Amino acid sequence: MASTLEKSKPIRGPSGDDYSWRKSSEGSTDQDGLLPQDFAQLKQRKPFWKKHARAICGHLVLFLFYLSTMAFLAAWNSNLRTKLQRTSLYSPANEVLEWNVAPWPSGDGLTEPYVGYPRPELERAWDGLLKNMNIRISKEDVQHFGREETAVAIPDGSGYIGTLNVFHEIHCIRWLHKHMYQEFYWPDLDDVQREKNRVHSEHCLSTLRKFALCHGDVGLITYSWNPNHEKPSANTTAHQCVDWDKLARWTEERSVNMFKPGWLVHPTLGPAYPDGEPLHGGPHDEEHTLPPMPSSDHDGH
């Protein structure tokens, strides 16, 4: 069987390599002269980006989308933080404030360590919240309020004593909890001290009411029907909250114990706490005015 050797006409592959024609029978086309392995080589030499162009483009688009989303969120958060700082009351703690949205479950919260009967776990939890309530503030801080002449200085001259409002709120909540169990916390009270404690509790109720109105939390509570109860049930709601862990670390770094025995000395009256007081006694530096005791005979009736 006759066969002819076709004229050698090299073709150029994708990478520039030459492929020569093979011996073939008469009547065969040019392509028939290429062996299967030649096509495999041509395919293998196709550039990576061409073989995976669609996947590469898809990943690139996703990457750019994620990048632009993160940039937008970072800019939005920075802008929000700047606006909040501009409209916030002056405080040295403004520098550490970060806000987030936190969902609160609609449950009763009775499993939290801060509620319930007095017990070691509860005492540790409240001590952890209140132990750093009094902090060292700078001369510039007291000058901002025009109080450098009357501010209570730290004895070593390193600053002045201050307390963030949030700790006043926490102190009042703690006080009201103690008042619920005063037979445990103050088992030997006389009538005069018991009345002082009642007035202190009234003060705390008034303070917490003012704080609630001041904060004006406008997070929305919605309701759902409960198949097992005829009354609507409140759903989980969201609150705008500071990052408490960051704020707590900030106060811990500046914490001072103003109740150490004999540590603070009044300029003319002597030691403020000669025998010391509980670490979180609260920012109540004046006796509350006591209202008249109710008459026991109800005006003779």
Q: Where are the beta strands (DSSP E) in the chain?
A: 11-12, 18-19, 99-104, 134-137, 160-163, 223-226, 229-234, 237-242, 265-266, 270-271
pLDDT number for residue 265: 93
Q: What are phi and psi of 273, to 5 degrees?
A: -130, 75
Residue 198: is its pLDDT beyond 70?
Answer: yes
CB 232 within 8 A of CB 223: yes
User: Residue range 234-241: average pLDDT?
Assistant: 91
pLDDT number for residue 66: 72
Q: What are phi and psi of 228, to 5 degrees?
A: -110, 5
Tens of pLDDT along 113-155? 999 999 999 999 999 999 999 999 999 999 999 999 999 999 9
CB 114 within 8 A of CB 125: yes
pLDDT number for residue 62: 77
Better-predicted residue by pLDDT, 155 or 71: 155
Question: How high is the mean pLDDT of the chain?
Answer: 80
Residue 171: is its pLDDT beyond 90?
Answer: yes
- Long-range contacts, stretch 7-14, CB < 8 angstroms, 24+ apart: 13/41, 13/42, 13/45, 14/42, 14/45, 14/46, 14/47
CB 133 within 8 A of CB 248: no
**Residues in CB range of 118: below 8 A, 6 or more apart:** 181, 184, 185
What are the distances in angstroms from CA 105 to CA 116, 221, 291, 295? 19, 11, 40, 45
Find where tokens 């002449």 sit: 149
Q: Percent of the chain at pLDDT above 70?
A: 68
Rounded CA gap, 60 and 64, in Å? 6
Residue 26's pLDDT band, with cuts at 50, 70 and 90, is very low
User: Residue range 156-180: average pLDDT?
Assistant: 96
State the pTM of this model: 0.66
Closest CA to 204 of 282, 136, 276, 262: 282
- Long-range contacts, stretch 178-184, CB < 8 angstroms, 24+ apart: 181/117, 181/118, 184/118
Q: Percent of the chain at pLDDT above 90?
A: 56
Which of 4-18, 57-71, 262-276 shows the lowest mean pLDDT across its residues? 4-18
Better-predicted residue by pLDDT, 114 or 43: 114
Cα four-point dihedral sign 104, 105, 108, 109: negative
Residue 46's pLDDT band, with cuts at 50, 70 and 90, is low
User: Residue range 22-47: average pLDDT?
Assistant: 52
User: Residue range 265-277: average pLDDT?
Assistant: 91
